[in-house]
Amino acid sequence: MRNVLKTAAFFMIFFSVIACAKKEAYKKELETQSYKVVIISEKPPFVGINRWKIYVYDKNGNPVTDAKLKINGYMPPMPGMPEMSFNYPVEKVKDHYESDVNLNMGGTWQITVFIEKNGKVEKAKFGFNL
């Protein structure tokens, strides 16, 4: 009986660890001239509203919390469809930033994160296919 309980406890801990790990299932690291940008999401990019957490660090690894961020999602023209470009608002949350990135259809997405600080704007870019 004791062993059964121990086994049950082990599996409960095991699965809660997996559940926690899943909360950061997607991580994208980008570099600009002055910053390291880390995007974290519970899921890899999918068609729909993606909640992204964005962490900005300077080159010494210190969090940058006083920048202004913008995110743009761009889809190049497709057969029978003009190009699309969306600006997603970014809000500051504690030591990082968050945005609801609405990837409203499948296709090629190019994402640009604009980091503005002291009147200087730097861009971090990446892309993916949905």
Residues in the site for Cu ion, rule: CB under 5 A? Answer: 75, 78, 81, 107
Can you read off the two tokens belonging to residue 82? Answer: 């003009």
CA distance 130 to 115: 25
CB of 57 to Cu ion, least distance (A): 33
| Nearer to Cu ion among residue 30 and residue 130 (C-beta) | 130
CB of 114 to Cu ion, least distance (A): 22
| Nearer to Cu ion among residue 80 and residue 119 (C-beta) | 80
Q: Tokens 């743009």, residue?
A: 72
Strand 48-58, strand 84-88: pairing: unpaired
Q: Which amino acid type is present at position 128?
A: F
> Which SS3 state, helix, strand or coil, does residue 125 take?
strand
CB of 42 to Cu ion, least distance (A): 25
